[in-house]
Structure 1
Amino acid sequence: MKTFSQGGLRTPKLNKVQKTKKINAESLWKDDVNSTIQHMFTNMVGFDNTEDLKLSEFPEFKEKIWKSEVPDGLFYNLKSLVLDTFLESSSAIPSCVLSNLKNLETLEVRSSDALKQVFDTERPLNVNGHALKRSHKDVLNLNNLKSLKVHNCNGLRYIFTPSIILGLVQLQDIEVKNCALIEEIIRKGRENYAEIDKIFIPQLNSISLESLPSLTRFCSGINSLACPSLKSIRVARCPEIETFVFADMKHQSDHIAPLFCEKVAFPRVEEIILLHLGKLQLIWHNQLHGDSFCKLKEVRVEFCENLVTIIPSNSTQRLLTFQNLETLTVENCWNIKSLFPVSIATSLLQLKRLMLYSCSLEEIVSKGKVGLAPRFLFPQLTCLKLDNLPELKHFYMGSYTAEWSMLKELLVYQCEKLKAYALHGESQPALFSFEKI
């Protein structure tokens, strides 16, 4: 607000304007109400107590911020910042402002095709007309940042560098949507990051990546990505992504890069949602880091047309189990032949819902190398839905026994090659077998 009233206004007894509700807060008076309001706005009086700021609501701030005309400490109490209007600048937050955002918790960057970087830590700071370089540690002072959202910024190719992400020790949520050129979320830049081969994000709780047509990976050039608090991963409409951490797959005989390899340490992930990932072929491979994914409860995979399997049959046993998995949904994956090997299927003791729609599955459990006939126990499974699976012939090819003691909802539809029921002793395998009484 620049002006209190456009017309004539007399306030003979008014002698101060106070911006906040706080008792004894700073007040101001300049001749009349309109002059006072204009002075406060021009000189940013009272904004030092602001906790929430949406830049498009204060267009005059835009020029002051990028011309380094912001008083020191002005944004010290700021907790939420929405950057949705910019000058023709290559960075969302100038370095002169970054050092003042000590208490910022939420940052949203929206709708700019000119941006080349979110955090400006490389540009020299102008102090009294002189160029001064500062280290990232000095410039980037976002120790309390918990949430970062970047939407509709079509000039960005990455979000973080290793040194920036390592400085965001309280970061809990990363959300990046509708950015046409982003190739990776964390990128090693021109600077010398050879000494940084491990990235540790201690408080990160969720990652959401959506509609990023150029995204090929989350990061590369590191030996470890550890997120001990991460619970949710959502990747949707990213047709070029194949792997989370890029790794040399030449040593693999099939050269298929899994989405998650041994370089990621995600011990608390509970939910993974993968939608419309055209190049994804494999989600997990032979080995994982420590107890990664041991708490996984829900997996949903849809419209991944090149997906071959969830887990290959040659996976090393005991390194990957889904003992806490409760819900598995696979839909519109027309290259997949099986879901997982026997070693995984026999450990799904917490599985409650299994839903398979519109896929080229030939079997649910791949045979692999087993000795005696396996026994599949599903003591918690209440819902089994098989719909439009034209190539599905059996649950498991070979002799086996299965128990479905809690099954309440069963749908088998458009599965022409699958024999759902058989009497005990019949040679043709079926989904369910009954003893004749």
Structure 2
Amino acid sequence: MKVLSIGGGGYAWEAKEKVENGMAVIIREVNKCYDLQHFLKQESSIAVKLEQLKISECSHLINLVPSSSSFQNLTTLVVSYCKGLKNVLTSSTTKTLVRLREMKISGCNMITEIVADDDDAAKDEIIVFNEMKKLTLSYLKSLTSFCSGSCAFRFPSLEILVVDDCHNMKIFSRGELSTPVLLRVQLKTWDKEQSAWKDDLNTTIQQSQSSN
């Protein structure tokens, strides 16, 4: 398992290796990167090897990775309190997340969408999150949608969707959307928590926000 954890506050790397249950575990922690602007500036083998990526409190981070990056082994993506980010991934990078099981994006005040269309993205482009079971979007005050472009999204395994204090989110996505096993959306605000479902995911988001 390869884990990279990045936290803001300074300028140092800390790396450690250990063995658990006979398997080598490589854990890299970047705990002092307040001025970090890019996790990766160009395509790198680091991204391909990662299984867990956690980035928090990097206030100057403006771009996570270039659109050419591949995360084909990533199972967990957590991004929190990076106030300069406006989106997390491009559609090209998102298509490589074939093993992603959990995504959590929270406390990033500038994010307007999670997935941004590439300039040359095809109108009929389909992005499939085959293994994703849980998606959490919380405290994203500028978020309007998961994706505002025309990409189609399929979440065949998604069981848990949490939308927590995302008051400007009006729709999940504008393209074709499939969530066959999702039965409810967990909606949270500062004063209440509820589960909701009406026809489909987009309708559920629209109705829940209109009632707030």
TM-score over 0.5 (shorter chain): yes
Separation in 2, partners of 1:240, 1:204: 24
| Amino acid in the other structure paired with 1:86 | C
Are the equivalent residues in 1 in contact too, given 2:142–2:166 (CA < 8 A)? yes
Aligned in 2, Cα 1:55/1:265: closer, same or farther, shift over 3 Å? closer
| Amino acid in the other structure paired with 1:218 | F
1:216 to 114, 136, 144: 144
Partner in structure 2 of residue 160 of structure 1: 89
Separation in 1, partners of 2:171, 2:180: 18
Q: CA deviation at 1:183?
A: 0.3
Partner in structure 2 of residue 241 of structure 1: 169
Partner in structure 1 of residue 121 of structure 2: 193
Larger Rg: 1
Cα distance per residue 1:349-386 (max 9 Å; x no partner)? xxxxxxxxxxxxxxxxxxxxxxxxxxxxxxxxxxxxxx
Separation in 1, partners of 2:209, 2:156: 31
Match status 1:93 vs 2:6: no
Cα distance per residue 1:168-225 (max 9 Å; x no partner)? 1101111001000000111114x31125522111111111000000000011222521
Q: CA deviation at 1:81?
A: 4.6
Partner in structure 2 of residue 264 of structure 1: 177
Q: CA deviation at 1:94?
A: 3.8
Structure 2 stretches of 5 or more lacking a match? 15-23, 191-195
Cα distance per residue 1:98-124 (max 9 Å; x no partner)? 313433211100101211111134xxx
TM-score, normalised relative to structure 1: 0.39
Aligned in 2, Cα 1:94/1:86: closer, same or farther, shift over 3 Å? farther
Matches within 5 A, 1:3-402: 51-52=2-3, 54=5, 59-61=11-13, 80-86=27-33, 88-95=35-42, 98-121=44-67, 136=68, 140-189=69-118, 191-194=119-122, 197-222=125-150, 224-246=152-174, 263-276=176-189, 284=198, 306-307=210-211
Separation in 2, partners of 1:59, 1:199: 36
Are the equivalent residues in 2 in contact too, given 1:81–1:107 (CA < 8 A)? no
Aligned in 2, Cα 1:230/1:110: closer, same or farther, shift over 3 Å? same
Larger proportion of strand: 2
Question: RCO greater where, 1 or 2, for CA within 8 Å and sep 6 or more?
Answer: 2
Separation in 2, partners of 1:88, 1:186: 24
Are the equivalent residues in 2 in contact too, given 1:149–1:174 (CA < 8 A)? yes
Aligned in 2, Cα 1:148/1:83: closer, same or farther, shift over 3 Å? farther
Separation in 2, partners of 1:270, 1:305: 18
Aligned partner of residue 100 in structure 1, secondary structure: helix
Q: CA deviation at 1:159?
A: 0.6
CA RMSD, 1 decimal: 3.3
Aligned partner of residue 156 in structure 1, secondary structure: coil
Q: CA deviation at 1:83?
A: 4.2
Q: Percent identity?
A: 21
Are the equivalent residues in 2 in contact too, given 1:160–1:186 (CA < 8 A)? yes
| Amino acid in the other structure paired with 1:208 | T
Aligned partner of residue 114 in structure 2, secondary structure: strand
Q: CA deviation at 1:167?
A: 0.6
Aligned partner of residue 150 in structure 1, secondary structure: strand
Q: CA deviation at 1:246?
A: 2.8
Aligned in 2, Cα 1:59/1:52: closer, same or farther, shift over 3 Å? farther
Are the equivalent residues in 2 in contact too, given 1:94–1:119 (CA < 8 A)? yes
Are the equivalent residues in 1 in contact too, given 2:50–2:74 (CA < 8 A)? yes
Aligned in 2, Cα 1:274/1:87: closer, same or farther, shift over 3 Å? closer
Aligned residues: 193
